[in-house]
């Protein structure tokens, strides 16, 4: 499995009903747990956010970029996300290697 740093910024379109937002967030939370159990989501962080902004940075694992794309597209909030993916390689001095 390869690792990817994924920066996700979620913007809910104006006028989206609060009930739809809440339901989508509940589905997202449940699906995130499923993806973690499958080994696709390794870590998630919440960096400082501006008012009204949802920003998450995650460490994901997938066989390749195609599988990662499918994982990201399976996330309920994906329709409202701007996503930046950085493929990662092990650093030779990484203390976590080996």
10 is in which domain, residue-wise? 2-40+57-88
State if pTM tops 0.75.
yes
Residue 33 lies in a domain: yes
Q: Is the distance from CB of 71 to CB of 22 less than 8 angstroms?
A: no
CATH number of residue 84's parent domain: 3.30.70.1060
Phi/psi for 52 (5° steps) reads 80, 0
Of all residues in the chain, what percent carry a pLDDT higher than 70? 99
Residue 76 lies in a domain: yes
Token pair, residue 29, equals: 């939370």
Residue 49 lies in a domain: no
pLDDT in tens, 42-88: 999 999 887 778 999 999 999 999 999 999 999 999 999 999 999 99
Q: Is the distance from CB of 13 to CB of 80 less than 8 angstroms?
A: yes
Residue 98 lies in a domain: no
Residue 45 lies in a domain: no
């Amino acid at each position: 499995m390869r690792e990817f740093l994924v920066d996700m910024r979620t913007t809910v379109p104006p006028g989206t009903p609060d009930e739809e937002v809440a339901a989508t967030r509940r589905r997202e939370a449940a699906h995130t747990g499923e993806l973690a159990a499958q080994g696709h989501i390794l870590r998630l962080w919440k960096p400082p956010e501006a008012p009204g902004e949802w920003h998450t940075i995650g460490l994901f694992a997938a066989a390749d970029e195609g599988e990662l794309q499918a994982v990201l597209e399976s996330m309920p909030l994906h329709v409202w996300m701007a996503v930046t993916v950085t493929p990662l390689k092990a650093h030779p001095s990484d203390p976590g290697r080996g």
